[in-house]
Amino acid sequence: MTADLNCDGVSKRFGSHVAVDALSFTVERGSFFSILGPSGCGKTTLLRMIAGFIEPDAGDIVIGGGSMRGVAPNRRPVNMVFQQLALFPMMSVGDNVAFGLARRGVARAERTRRADAMLERVGLGGAAHKRVDEMSGGQRQRVAIARSLVLEPTLLLLDEPLGALDLKLREHMKIELKQLQAAFGTTFVYITHDQSEALVLSDHVGVMNHGRFEQLGTPQDLYYRPQTPFVAGFVGANNRIVGRAARSEGGVVEIATSDGWVIHARGAGTIAADGAVEGFVRPEVASLGRSAEELPAGQPRHAGRVQSVLFDGANSAVLLQESRTRREFRIALPQTGQFSDLKPGEPVFFSFDPERAVCFPARPGAEGRDG
Amino acid sequence: MGDLARARWYGRLSLALLLAPALLWLGALVILPHVELATLSFRQRVGPHQYVASLAQYRTFFTESLYWHVFVRTALMSVVSTALTLVLAFPVAWVIAKIARGRAGSLLFILCLIPFWVSETVRTLGWMILLRESGVLPALLVKLGITDVPVEMLYHDATILIGLIYTSMLFMVIPLISALESLDNALIEAAYDLGAGGFAVLRTIVIPHAAPGITAGCIIVFMLTLGNYLTPTLLGGKNSQWFTEQIYTQFITRFNWEQGAAFGFLLLGLSTTLVVAGLKLAGQSFGDVMRRT
């Protein structure tokens, strides 16, 4: 596979703050790559370095086989869709799309033709004469993408472009973006703090924290095989249980919390005997039952009491309190409607397969913080 | 009288009271003198205390080539001065609005403002101290060996322009700053990202965005320059040939109020014509320009 983007030891510091820390990664041609991280993790700095607005302190960025060192943003084979889209309000939609072509010296008739054709492809045929403020949020989004794609860039950078949209439109644009990327085959580099966007859209995701990638892999990798406690906590919902590794047998660690609850989870990384650990159990991994007999055989069983029912259609869940320690534990409700009459205060039982839960050596300072 | 009617009456009364100062000012200091001047300009003195309606004052203007000449010269110099002020003020406004951040921006703006705490007369005299034959700058040039003898730098057209630009700079900088501050930096970056160079960004993004501010600044500066009396007179001396001087001469020296009034109206006509022409040229509407600055 050929790489469209290759970052090699890219670093950037602002004063004493390291924004991007010796980052190396490769993005394959035609793929959808997302950088997922909380705000302040350095993802915007990284994107702006790829676009050329910030010069890295160290390392090299190679785009389409050419080093970008000392290449100005207007000379890079890269275009960017800005967070607030940055459409030019003083121009018509057609002129916005034709802007880059005009800068390349394409003749007027030709650039009108190409801009019209591009607007047609993104489903905005005939909108060329409209003013930018006549377009809806979703349409503007498409204009911004058309404006970049008409230049046939090697890379299209997207800086949280869905952040400004309302929820319903955001869900819709997510699908549309994925389809557009598939139709054009352009390499997309997308940054977001929304894990659902990253999971739905991407072929590969880099989870970024403190200027480094915690893990780089497919969405399935991140979800099912997180390699660090940060990834386990950041990607998807998770019950987090902090304790000590009381025993370890066949790769399964027995975690004992300070208040005396014992759970079992698959160990990841080197776990020292009696070392501090963080365990993670996804809400959909656990089974729920009104009696202990309903639970799958062979799994350690726990008792609890319903604290609240969180109804959200297909994403409904129940929040429990473990009987002895009163720790909160979240379990996804099955779609069968079996537990639709669950009431707060009701005693229940739950269990989960230790192989599908995971535990890591605790991060420094992580002890005692449950979540 | 019902409560509603009473409330409405009070509403009207308070509105009238609020508007009263502005209306008084407009009536007593703008409309009334202009009506008086208009009547003055359309009459001719045929004997002591004897006047007839006539266009003689306006005829004199068109037949006497000196008046004509000064009129056109004033207009051209004002246009040139306005254009130069724009060219010089634009980078200043850009730095204050876009490059200098926080305190540095405020500091630079205060630096622009401080000279205006001193009266225009004193500032112009300052220029005279710098530029006159026995002044600071000619002496410096001799000392540096650039000229053999001190050169008289006053009483040139260039000197008048320097003075005029200096006087009107602030009135260009302020509307430009507010126009440029409202320009989203992402637009500049987006244009740059799409392949535009510095000049293309300026031409396609910055200037169209700042157009109302540019137009407003140009209108203010042009009117101030055209109607300026002090600066051209002090810095240009006899050579200044500024139209306001002609008006002053007619009113004060010649005591020919009829002629002076006619000149005044011609100047008003000139500024109106040029401002309208400028707006047409820039594709702006006056209301829009004034609203957005």
pLDDT (tens digit, 9 = 90+) per residue, A274-303? Answer: 889 999 999 999 999 998 888 888 889 999
Judged by CB atoms closer than 8 Å, whether chains meet at B189 and A82 is answered as yes
Judged by CB atoms closer than 8 Å, whether chains meet at B205 and A147 is answered as no
A70: left (phi over 0), alpha (psi -120 to 50) or beta: left
Burial per residue of B127-160, b for 16 or more beta-carbon CB atoms within 10 angstroms, e otherwise: beeebbeebeebeebeeeeeeeebeebbbbbebb
Q: Which residues from chain A sit within 8 angstroms of residue B209, using beta carbons?
A: 90
pLDDT digits (tens, 9 = 90+) for A232-262: 999 988 999 999 998 888 889 999 998 889 9
Which B residues 152-211 touch A at CB under 8 Å? 184, 186-187, 189-197, 200, 204-205, 208-209
Residue A353's pLDDT is 93
B47 falls in which pLDDT band (50, 70, 90)?
confident
Q: Is the pLDDT of residue B3 over 90?
A: no
Indicate the average pLDDT of chain B. Answer: 90
Q: Is the pLDDT of residue A267 over 70?
A: yes
Q: Which residues from chain B sit within 8 angstroms of residue A83, using beta carbons?
A: 186
Residue B81's pLDDT is 96
Interface mutation target, options A49, A53, A76, A82, chain B, most CBs of B under 10 Å? A82
pLDDT digits (tens, 9 = 90+) for B101-129: 788 988 998 988 888 888 889 999 999 99
Interface mutation target, options B194, B206, B209, chain A, most CBs of A under 10 Å? B194
* Cβ-Cβ contacts under 8 Å for A276 (sequence gap 6 or more): A242, A243, A244, A245, A361, A362, A366, A367
Residue B293's pLDDT is 57
- B87 pairs with which residues across the strands? none
Show the domains of chain A with their CATH numbers.
3-230 (3.40.50.300), 237-361 (2.40.50.140)
Judged by CB atoms closer than 8 Å, whether chains meet at B194 and A83 is answered as no
Q: Which residues from chain A sit within 8 angstroms of residue B187, using beta carbons?
A: 86, 88
Interface mutation target, options A53, A68, A90, chain B, most CBs of B under 10 Å? A90
Contact by Cβ (8 Å): A3, A193: no
DSSP H helical segments within A56-193, as ranges? 93-103, 108-121, 137-149, 167-184
* Averaged pLDDT, B79-90: 96
Q: Which residues from chain B sit within 8 angstroms of residue A105, using beta carbons?
A: none
The DSSP line for A37-80 is: --TTSSHHHHHHHHHTSS--SEEEEEETTEE-TT--GGGSSEEE
Q: Which residues from chain B sit within 8 angstroms of residue A73, using beta carbons?
A: 189, 192-193
Q: From the CA of B170, how many Å to the nearest CA of chain A?
A: 27
Judged by CB atoms closer than 8 Å, whether chains meet at A99 and B196 is answered as yes
Residue B238's pLDDT is 80
pLDDT digits (tens, 9 = 90+) for A163-182: 878 888 888 889 989 999 99
* Averaged pLDDT, B5-25: 91
B138: which DSSP letter? H
B1 falls in which pLDDT band (50, 70, 90)?
low
Residue A314's pLDDT is 85
Interface mutation target, options B193, B284, B288, B292, chain A, most CBs of A under 10 Å? B193
| Closest residue by Cα to residue B88 from B169, B159, B163 | B169
Question: Looking at chain A, which residue has its C-alpha nearest residue B198?
Answer: A74
* Averaged pLDDT, A341-352: 92
Indicate the average pLDDT of chain A. Answer: 91
B284 falls in which pLDDT band (50, 70, 90)?
confident
pLDDT digits (tens, 9 = 90+) for B164-195: 999 999 999 999 999 999 999 999 999 999 99
Judged by CB atoms closer than 8 Å, whether chains meet at B193 and A104 is answered as no
Residue B292's pLDDT is 60
Structure tokens at B191: 């244009």
Question: Looking at chain B, which residue has its C-alpha nearest residue A146?
Answer: B194
Q: Is the pLDDT of residue A371 over 50?
A: no
Q: From the CA of A217, how many Å to the nearest CA of chain B?
A: 29
Judged by CB atoms closer than 8 Å, whether chains meet at B197 and A74 is answered as yes
CATH of segment(s) B56-292:
1.10.3720.10
A206 to A46, A195, A222: CA distances (angstroms)? 12, 11, 9
Residue B50's pLDDT is 85
Q: Which residues from chain A sit within 8 angstroms of residue B193, using beta carbons?
A: 51-52, 73-74, 78-80
Judged by CB atoms closer than 8 Å, whether chains meet at A84 and B186 is answered as yes
Q: Which residues from chain A sit within 8 angstroms of residue B210, using beta carbons?
A: none
Q: Which residues from chain A sit within 8 angstroms of residue B184, using beta carbons?
A: 84, 86
pLDDT digits (tens, 9 = 90+) for A195-226: 989 999 999 999 999 999 999 999 999 999 99
Residue B243's pLDDT is 92
pLDDT digits (tens, 9 = 90+) for A78-114: 999 999 999 999 999 999 999 999 999 999 999 999 9
B208 falls in which pLDDT band (50, 70, 90)?
very high
DSSP 3-state of B42: coil
| Closest residue by Cα to residue A215 from A231, A201, A200 | A231
In chain B, where the domains are located? 1-41, 56-292
